[in-house]
Amino acid sequence: MPMLQIVAVLALMLSAAPITANELVGVASVIDADTLEIRGVRIRSHGIDAPESQQLCTNPSGQQWGCGQQAAFALSDRIGRRTVNCAVRDVDRYDRAIAVCTQDNQDLNRWLVSEGWAVAYRRYSRDYIGAEDQARRAGYNIWAGQFVMPWEWRRGQRLP
């Protein structure tokens, strides 16, 4: 096999390895509150859905605020530049790894839901329903006022 073909095959194998591997480890960039990137691989958080980056919520006094953007900032502040471990469970139709990500043995997906920055995505998992119930009862972040569920927002529904 010519050297160029060997290099091409090795490059292809290495670029595909992170998606097919069971774990992605490294410093993560926050794309939005439920999507990270590690070493060029997009990772969608398993079992949760967070407000989209452009999504607005209302606070108890009725003022709108950028809840999607604030959720992403909260996650970015939480993880900083420290290592994140993502256990890959699947790959979605957009070729993103679907994973449960942890840092210092804390489930970041659960943290987002329990802090009121995301909701349990019941369509795909029941893992985070208890954390959502607690955040809702406490009135944390998106639960403090009104918001449209992220999957409904993506379909065009907006606050009244």
Which domains are assigned to the chain?
A: 23-154 (2.40.50.90)
In this prediction, residue 160 carries a pLDDT of 81
What percentage of the chain's residues is helix, strand, coil (to nearest 5)? 35, 30, 35
Q: Is the pLDDT of residue 12 over 80?
A: no
User: Which pLDDT score, from 0 to 100, does residue 89 have?
Assistant: 96
Q: Which residues contact 56 (CB under 8 A, 6 or more apart)?
A: 64, 65, 66, 67, 68, 158, 159
pLDDT digits (tens, 9 = 90+) for 22-71: 999 999 999 999 999 999 999 999 999 999 999 999 999 999 999 999 99
Predicted TM-score (pTM) of this structure: 0.86
Provide the H-helix boundaries in 21-159: 67-79, 108-114, 129-138, 150-154
Check residues 85 and 17 and name the one with the higher pLDDT. Answer: 85
What pLDDT is recorded for position 73? 98
Of 2 and 61, which is predicted with more confidence?
61
Q: Please say if the pLDDT value at position 154 is more than 60.
A: yes
pLDDT at 9 exceeding the cut of 80 = no
